[in-house]
Amino acid sequence: MKIGVLGAGSWGIALTELLSGNGHKVTVWSIDEAEIAMLREHREHKMKLPGVILKEDVLYTTKVEEAVLDAEMLVMVVPSPFIRSTAKTIAPFVKENQLIVNVSKGIEEDTLMTLTEIISEEVPIARVAVLSGPSHAEEVGKHIPTTVVAGSTDKEIASLIQDTFMSDYFRVYTSPDVIGIELGGALKNVIALAAGIADGLGCGDNTKAALITRGITEITRLGVAMGGKIETFAGLSGIGDLIVTCASKHSRNRNAGYLIGQGKTYKEAMEEVKMVVEGVYSAKAAMALSKKYGIDMPIVECVNKMLFEDLTATEAMKILLGRDKTKEAESLSWN
């Protein structure tokens, strides 16, 4: 299969190595000329994914049409703030029913749209699906066993993505719950910021376990209200992705949160991490969605206040622990 990978960051390169290793003909596009020049010369992204050497038959280009035209599948791997602009850029070259697989995570702040919704709006003639789950590029690039889920309302498309990406170290499941998969992938970044902040404060494993479990509760409440399925939030793109993003040394959201917990602003933290911290962009959208759907999300609310209203991490912890007493699960009751 001919595949165009749109984005040459660490995840784009890891997936390029996976797909070319599966026998597909891959063309990588980036708007950054220096990045493409480096990949052409070294077949390696020396800054974002050092040590992962790409096959000689992989092509690289700064001309988006070269990656889009004749491709049977497009893989969208640009950071979430650039999804809409990239979709606008490729739209003139996309063919009727061309498949676009979104592997980025986030929610657009202004419109509250998921990324597949944005792509579908900008490229209405395309078929759009999602691939998500606990999958750090640094580990996928080293062929460390990983599992993800392919989401599409069309069973055949989900199966096609499964067949295209699956390998002896990369296992792909399928699901029809596109909205649930995308919300799990986007909202977990906000909770991961909170987990990192707790680490920066010097809290322990008890605190992180509390944030993960109460965090998935918040994500599930909102996700189900928006049409997602509860099984999805108990799966790879829900609790699975949340665990890895809150705990991993590779997590840019957790690492940025750690710096915030030590007293840095979110802007200083993003500069030090040197990568797009999706949770910062998704935090406002998550708060807006919680208000729109009337869902109580205290962790998300505190993260927003820490990022944008100068609430200190210590004050946020006191707020969360001092909330009114309640049951753990509202659906459970005594006889």
Catalytic residues: 188
**CB-CB contact of 16 with 58 (8 Å):** yes
Query: How is residue 334 annotated by DSSP?
Result: -
Rounded to whole angstroms, the Cα distance separating 128 from 79 reads 17
**CB-CB contact of 196 with 258 (8 Å):** yes
Sign of CA dihedral 102, 248, 308, 318: positive
Residue 241 CB partners (closer than 8 Å, separation 6+): 132, 133, 134, 184, 185, 188
- Name the β-bridge partners of 118: none
**CB-CB contact of 35 with 12 (8 Å):** no
Residue 273 CB partners (closer than 8 Å, separation 6+): 252, 255, 256, 259
Rounded to whole angstroms, the Cα distance separating 18 from 26 reads 10
**CB-CB contact of 276 with 81 (8 Å):** yes
Rounded to whole angstroms, the Cα distance separating 40 from 3 reads 18
- Name the β-bridge partners of 132: 149
Per DSSP, the three-state class of 96 is coil
